[in-house]
Amino acid sequence: MIIDNTTVNISNIYQFDGIGKHKVVIEIFKNIESTEEMFIDINNLISINFDNFKSENLKSISGMFYGCISLTSLNLSSFNAKKVTNMSYLFYGCTSLNNIILDNLNTSNVIDMKYMFSGCKSVISLDLKSFNTKKLKEIKYMFNGCNKLINLEIEDNFVILEYMI
């Protein structure tokens, strides 16, 4: 991984602390099945580039950006999530996040999206048209606390369950 032009080798990624206000570029990780809480509560994280991130083996990304209160924009359009089953708490508490690009995100195997966007106070618009929710079983409070959300783009087959908001 490259952090501020310094290459860092990480064998077991679970949580990064104290990165500060840096642009993080995820370079190469192979065979990783979970990025749960990878960036949890990194208060000064403002930008992440996933262009070269090898995500094809991921099964859980739960809480990956949990509490990243300074994160304003995130592009996951190149993220390969075809094996992911758990996206719960993914952006939970990302209060400054106002631009989330999720185009082409494969959610066909996801069963849990509870609290996914909960607490994202700055999000005004979300395009979830690419979301396949056929296997979804848990969606509780997915948009809880998204007070500014006025535009939610979904397809007709999007599974709507109780307590989404």
Global pTM reads: 0.81
Q: What is the pLDDT of residue 15?
A: 38
Give the pairing of strands 6-7 and 2-3.
antiparallel
CA distances from 22 to 14, 76, 78, 148 (A): 19, 18, 21, 27
Query: What pLDDT was estimated at residue 145?
Result: 95
Provide the domain count of the chain. 1
Query: Tens digit of pLDDT for each residue in 143-163?
Result: 999 999 999 998 888 877 666
Mean pLDDT of 38-47: 89
Q: Distance between CA 28 and CA 14 in Å, rounded?
A: 15
Backbone phi, psi, residue 138, to 5°:
-130, 120
What residue numbers bound the domain in which 3 lies? Answer: 1-165
List, in order, residues 6 or more apart from 70 with CB less than 8 Å away.
21, 43, 44, 45, 46, 96
Q: Residue 62: pLDDT above 80?
A: yes
Burial class of 51 by CB neighbour count within 10 A (0 to 12, 13 to 18, 19+):
exposed
What CATH number does residue 74 fall under? 3.80.10
Q: What is the pLDDT of residues 83-119, one digit of tens each?
A: 999 999 999 999 999 999 998 889 999 999 999 999 9
